[in-house]
């Protein structure tokens, strides 16, 4: 039976060790040597660590960051706020000042009056820097 990237033996060694068995007890149960169990466990843990790193990297690309620009903010302050938030999160926003101005004017014109926001505007960006204005409820 396959267990992801682990071999059957690696899986069994980790299962035994996870139950609190010593390497010597695990070796006896699997009819092998303690040094072999040590090597198998070491290689299995390296695979597990690499899988965790891969999963963390993948998850980081899916995570959206939400920024609310509050009501009363000056319109010309919005782009620096958004770009600064990207910098704080270590994300290069894939939009420039003109793009952000057009985005707000094009999707939320009713949120602007006399050069200020009349209600909060929600921006959402991901790790890849894709920026959008949040929908209802955001």
Neighbours of 100 (CB within 10 A): 20
Q: Note the pLDDT of residue 2.
A: 63
* DSSP code of residue 41: H
Helix (H, G, I), strand (E, B) or coil at 131: strand
User: What is the full DSSP assignment across 104-117?
Assistant: HHHH-GGGEETTEE
> Within 13 Å, how many C-alpha atoms sit on residue 106's CB side?
8
pTM to 2 decimal places: 0.55
Distance from the Cα of residue 42 to its chain's centroid: 27
pLDDT in tens, the chain (138 residues): 667 899 999 999 999 999 999 999 999 999 999 999 999 999 999 999 999 888 877 766 667 889 999 999 999 999 999 999 999 988 899 999 999 999 999 988 888 999 999 999 999 998 889 999 986 444
User: Can you tell me the distance from the alpha carbon of 123 to that of 22, in angstroms, rounded to the nearest whole number?
Assistant: 52
């Amino acid at each position: 039976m396959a267990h992801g990237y682990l071999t059957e033996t690696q899986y069994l060694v980790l299962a035994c060790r996870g139950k609190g068995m010593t390497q010597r007890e695990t070796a006896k149960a699997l009819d092998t040597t303690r040094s072999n169990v040590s090597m198998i466990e070491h290689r299995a843990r390296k695979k597990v660590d690499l899988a965790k790193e891969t999963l963390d990297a993948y998850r980081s690309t899916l995570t959206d960051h939400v920024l609310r620009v509050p009501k009363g903010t000056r319109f010309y302050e919005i782009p620096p706020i958004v770009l600064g938030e990207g910098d704080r999160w270590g994300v290069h926003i894939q939009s420039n000042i003109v793009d952000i101005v057009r985005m707000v004017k094009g999707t939320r014109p009713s949120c602007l009056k006399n050069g200020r926001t009349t209600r909060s505007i929600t921006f959402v960006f991901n790790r890849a820097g894709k920026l959008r204005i949040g929908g209802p409820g955001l």
